[in-house]
A and B are shown apart, each in its own frame.
Chain A
Amino acid sequence: MLPVIYYIGLSAVLFTIGALGVLIRHNPIVIFMSVELMLNSANLAFVAYARAFGELSGQIFVFFVMTVAAAEVAVGLALIVAIFRSKHSIDIDQMNTLKG
């Protein structure tokens, strides 16, 4: 196995790209995808350390992160659909009022 630092470095790069995507993009769906990318990079770090320490608990946590990500996507996309219904647009710059 390669040194674990390689995988952690890749995970850090992917996490940064995801964070930049959240900051730069205007489309809320793409922002959501960037959040998924960040969760995924955290999962990669979990699995890499699980292998490096020979401890299965890291993989169990990846399982839980996947579950939370699935729940988050279901609720988040429902929110986007609800916002689109009331405003007929999902541009992030126009979501500046709490009241629909």
Chain B
Amino acid sequence: MTGNLILFIILAGVAVGSALAMMFSRNAIYAALFLILNFITVALFYLILDAPFIAISQVTVYAGAIMVLFLFVIMLLGAEQTGRTPSRWWYQPVSLFLGVVLLVEIAIILFSQSGVGSASVEVPSTFGSPLAIGELLFTRYLLPFEATSILLLAAMVGAIVMTRGEKK
């Protein structure tokens, strides 16, 4: 138990630290790299939580494909640094205040329901394996699965239409 707790604290520290570093880094490339570190840490959490298939998809889809797309667009536009626009002086304090309010709200809701799911459930060793996920995905969740394929097609067509040049 203590070993698990120490592992959790280290990983949580890395996750929160990389998220904060992403938020505060001036250079968008560094922000993207910190976000990749955060995604990989979350993938490790998925492994701890008996979700190996989700963990691998996280690394390939998020840390791989999506972040490569981000880095590509940052470098394509040369948008590493946006100039410091003089924003309104109250903007950052108000944002910080709203963030703290959000965190407090979530904490209140969590502690009012802290009993939910606290009983430890034993799961079979195949829990979260590709076989179990695939079986559920292609039986009970077949219709949503097909709907996501339509969604991906629509996104693909939309991206192509929007970035197409104006000339005929």
Contact = CB atoms under 8 A, between A and B. Distances in A.
A59 B39 contact: no
A62 B8 CA distance: 21
Chain B interface helix/strand/loop/mixed: helix
Considering residues B23, B91, B120, which has the most beta carbons from chain A within 10 angstroms of its beta carbon? B23
Interface string A39-52: 01001100111111
- Of the four ranges (under 10, 10 to 19, 20 to 34, 35 or more), the interface on chain A belongs to 35 or more
Contacts, number: 218
B19 A14 contact: yes
B92 A66 contact: no
A30 B96 CA distance: 17
Contacts of A30: 22-23, 28, 31
Given A13-B16, A18-B19, A77 B70 contact: yes
Interface of A: 1-10, 12-21, 23-27, 29-30, 32-34, 36-37, 40, 43-44, 47-54, 56-57, 59-60, 62-64, 66-75, 77-82, 84, 90-91, 93
Given A20-B23, A75-B159, 16 more contacts: A10-B12, A12-B103, A29-B73, A29-B74, A40-B38, A48-B49, A51-B123, A52-B121, A57-B141, A59-B133, A60-B141, A64-B144, A66-B62, A74-B156, A77-B69, A78-B159
